Structure 1
Amino acid sequence: MKQKSSSREKASPSRLQRELSAGIMDLIRSEGLAPGTRLAEVALAERLQVSRTPVRAALKLLATSKLVRAGKHGGYFVTDAVAASHKALRQPAPDNTDRLFLAIASDRRAGRLPDEVSEHDLMQRYAATRPVVQRVLTKLAEVAAVQRKPGHGWRFHPIFMDEQARHESYRYRLMIEPAGLLEPGFRLDPAWAADMRRRHEEALTMPWNQAATIPLYEINAAFHEGLAAASGNRYLLVAIQQQNRLRRFGNYDWTFGHERVLVNSREHLAILDQLEAGQHEAAAALLRRHLESAAKLRHRWPSAATD
């Protein structure tokens, strides 16, 4: 009996445990969680769209690698090893959910995916587990990219293939984002600004490959959402968060290349420079020019712009 128990304990982690472990690490890094931060199982389960039991197993797996630690009175906490691994891996690989999201976006744009699919179809086509497929479909449903059909299957909406919709999105953002920098309650969080500066400076030196489209988009989304949050206007923040969710499906499939990475990063840093100097009018003008440039690039190369 003891031998059987020992063999079970030494069994290799399941595919789901590995996927959730990677997802937890991505959340820790993307949100900049400091060593000692408690990792709440309920919150993680909600973010990763699973129950608490597999999350607990994934945290236990991470603890064996000393990427998280078990607390004396229960629970798990971020360790110093996470910060060290983040520095060593300047461009962490996307998890399976992001890879599937990117693959679906690419195949939809190329016309390789039909308008209607089932979970089983996607599992077979992409050799993905059901939990990963379900998480991706949930993310797509949140931004109205897909809708569950009555009874069985999912249907893609055509709005994300519509160039007019993209144009309207930029016009909408041009109306509200620069204005947010001029709100009377605008307050730039120094810690957020420092983190954004660090991430953009890293992006300038990051080696380029197709998988970089995902972390690149997330940096862009975090920048624009952070500016909206700094405005002090909650309605503006909600509007930009919704825009970011809508743009994820189209912008994860981004193929323009490294040059646009450099342009985006430098323009964002220039906006930060003006805001930190208290020059809000100048920052708003730069943000307007930045969005106008991205909109023109999107018109010429539909899969090129990230902002």
Structure 2
Amino acid sequence: MKQKSSPTPKAAPSRLQRELSAGILELIRAEKLAPGTRLAEVALAQRLRVSRTPVRAALKLLARRRLVRVGASRGYFVADTVPATPKAPAKPVPADTDRLFVAIARDRRSGRLPIDVSERDLMQRYDATRPVVQRVLAKLAEVAAVQRKPGHGWRFQPIIADVQARAESYRYRILIEPAGLLEPNFQLDAAWAAEMRQRHEETLREPWKETASIALYEMNAAFHEGLAAASGNRFLLVAVQQQNRLRRFANYDWVFGYERVVVNCREHLAILDRLEAGEREAAAQLLRGHLESAARLKTIELADGRNNNSK
């Protein structure tokens, strides 16, 4: 007589999944989201500064525990009841992690941090604990900024740092990104546009602090990638995603102050206004002007940094 095989036990959730699931619940509580509110993966990934893949895994974990519910067709929604806030809630991105993010970005961009590092190197250099360093490296790996080396250590991915490369990058983006808005298969995702509008308006309302530069860059990257995705041209999307990977470290360390944050957000919102009105030509002109203005700003910044380093 055949014996019934016992079901394969499910793998225990990873540390990142546990942290992200706690972070999602905390966002639901903090923003007082009503039952039935859709939990968009893109928006959550931007808020938690990770890619969509681990967010999706965290939502599945919460759904298994009945802390969120799965929609009839697809997607995840706020459950009818959300557990009370625990006495010591887990925070997915502590303040010390954000500070280390910015410090690494600044040193990598300036060349003070070598391309190959180990956890011990970073612990000693920044006087950080191993758990904090591991959290930062895990999140940098999620956005393809670092890659684990075979055997031991980590390697930073290439970045755009010098004046000539930055100028070429912006000229390339000016050529392709506005053109994407005029592609024959362009179709704006209304849900994505609403999420982007909400994120930009929240950024304008929230007090500015140095560590907010990480969330600012990821929001900006998501905006430009979303426009590229709307073009319906997969090759254009890949090109924009590659540029964002190369630009990541050069932009995590924001040096232009809050005034430029306001300008950046308002320019993005103006582009959305034109697209939602069906005025793609006007939106493409605004996007071109936005990129040209950013290119001038970055060229001045890099030139000043080069002059200061030569003194």
Aligned to 1:209: 209
2:141 counterpart of 1:138: yes
TM-score by length of 2: 0.67
Q: Is the 8 A contact 2:196 2:223 kept in 1?
A: yes
Q: CA separation of 1:191/1:114 partners in 2, compared to 1, >3 Å: closer, same or farther?
A: closer
1:8 equivalent in structure 2: none
**Cα distance change of structure 1 residues 166 and 209 upon mapping to structure 2, 3 Å threshold:** same
TM-score after normalising by structure 1: 0.68
Aligned-residue offset at 1:191 = 2.2
Residues 13-42 of structure 1: CA deviation (Å, up to 9, x unaligned): xx978744555569989xx99647699xxx
SS in 1 for 2:302: coil
Deviation at 1:97, TM superposition (A): 5.7
After superposition, the Cα gap between the structure-2 partners of 1:297 and 1:117, relative to the gap in structure 1 and judged at 3 Å, is same
Offset at residue 257 of structure 1 (A) = 1.0
Deviations 1:261-294 (A, max 9, x none): 1111111111112112221111111100100000
Deviates more, 1:93-102 or 1:240-249: 93-102
**How many residue pairs are counted as aligned between the two chains?**
262
1:16-31 alignment, distance < 5 Å: 19-21=19-21
Q: Determine if contact 1:38/1:78 at 8 Å carries over to the other structure.
A: no
- What do you get for the CA RMSD once the two structures are aligned? 4.4
Tell me if structure 2 keeps the 8 A contact 1:101–1:249.
no
Secondary structure at the aligned position of 2:185 is classed as coil
Counterpart in the other structure of 1:227: 227
Matched, 1:127 2:143: no
More relative contact order in 1 or in 2 (CA 8 Å, sep 6+)?
Answer: 2
Structure 2 gaps of 5+ residues are: 1-14, 42-49, 71-75, 86-90, 305-311
Between the aligned partners of 1:206 and 1:45, the Cα distance in structure 2 is: 23
Identity, in percent, stands at: 62
CA contact (8 A) 1:97 1:136 kept: no
Residue deviations 1:199-230, cap 9 Å, x none?
A: 22222222111121122112211211111111
- Closer, same or farther: CA 118–167 of 1 in aligned 2, 3 Å: same
Question: How many angstroms apart in 1 are the aligned matches of 2:260 and 2:240?
Answer: 22
Judged with a 3 Å threshold, the aligned counterparts in structure 2 of structure 1 residues 254 and 220 are, in CA distance, closer, same or farther, namely same
Aligned position for 1:255: 255
Quote the residue 1:117 is aligned against.
Answer: 117
The alpha-carbon distance between structure 1 residues 155 and 234, as it changes in their structure 2 partners (threshold 3 A), is closer
Question: Cα gap change, 1:228/1:151 in structure 2, threshold over 3 Å: closer, same or farther?
Answer: same
Equivalent position of 2:281 in the other structure:
281
Q: Are residues 268 and 108 of structure 1, via their aligned partners in 2, closer, same or farther at CA, if it must alter by over 3 Å?
A: same
How far the C-alpha of 1:136 sits from its partner, in A, is 4.1
Q: 2:181 corresponds to which letter in structure 1?
A: L
Q: 1:35, 1:80 within 8 Å by CA — same for their partners in 2?
A: no
Instruction: Measure the CA separation in 1 of the matches of 2:27 and 2:303.
Output: 26
1:101, distance to aligned residue in structure 2 (A): 3.0
